[in-house]
Amino acid sequence: EIRPTNKALIIDSGGTPRSAQWGIPAPWDGKPLINARSETLEKKQTFQPLLENRCIVPASAYFEWRKYGKKKLKNRIVLKDKSLMVFAGLLSESHFTIITCEPSSSIAHIHNRMPVILPGLAAKEWCNSSHPFKEVAPLLKPFNGDHLTVTEDMPKQADLFGSGFN
């Protein structure tokens, strides 16, 4: 499990695997920018200079939290065939952010966003620096949810004496 601000493996636009810190520093906020909305990348001054400095982020799974009353339940999302998935990202020196999009219909009940998962050759196209952003922007779309599997941590059962969840 990689968490925001941890270092993670990324592959830069030159095809070089390396370590980078998850979250681009935001001088106006104490929290790093761990995600970037695909729909507004070109409009945000923070991301405009990074549009030609793309990367991919390999992952075996990602985690999302679903609200259940006052609780939040952790969901592990993987590809059905258990292969690695590849997220679209942007790189700023030694930091990266993951690009998000609207969720696939199969996981929309969990969260209103999902990472852009690049299937097959799309990852190679995304990282190809000879393609301007406008050419690869159409790759930033929801992944086919039929290829995803979700495992959710279930809430603990209420005890026999009715004091709520353990």
- Render pLDDT for 59-118 as a digit per residue (tens, 0 to 9): 999 999 999 889 899 999 999 999 999 999 999 999 999 999 999 998 999 999 999 999
Sequence letter at residue 89 = G
Which tokens hold the place of 157?
A: 């059962």
Q: Which of 24, 52, 78, 67 is nearest to 137 (CA)?
A: 52
Q: How far apart are CA 126 and CA 104, in angstroms?
A: 20
Could you tell me the CA-to-CA distances from 97 to 14, 22, 38, 51 in Å, in that order? 17, 6, 11, 12
Residue 166 has pLDDT above 50, yes or no: no
pLDDT at residue 59, rounded to an integer: 97
H-type helices in 39-120, by residue range? none
**Contacting residues for 72 by C-beta, under 8 A, at least 6 apart:** 65, 66
Q: How far apart are CA 76 and CA 63, in angstroms?
A: 5
Q: What is the pLDDT confidence band of residue 153, given thresholds at 50, 70 and 90?
A: confident
Q: Which of 27, 32, 152 is nearest to 90 (CA)?
A: 32
Q: What is the pLDDT confidence band of residue 58, given thresholds at 50, 70 and 90?
A: very high
Q: What is the pLDDT confidence band of residue 145, given thresholds at 50, 70 and 90?
A: confident
Q: How far apart are CA 127 and CA 90, in angstroms?
A: 10
Q: What is the pLDDT confidence band of residue 128, given thresholds at 50, 70 and 90?
A: very high
Q: How far apart are CA 166 and CA 162, in angstroms?
A: 10
How high is the mean pLDDT of the chain?
Answer: 91
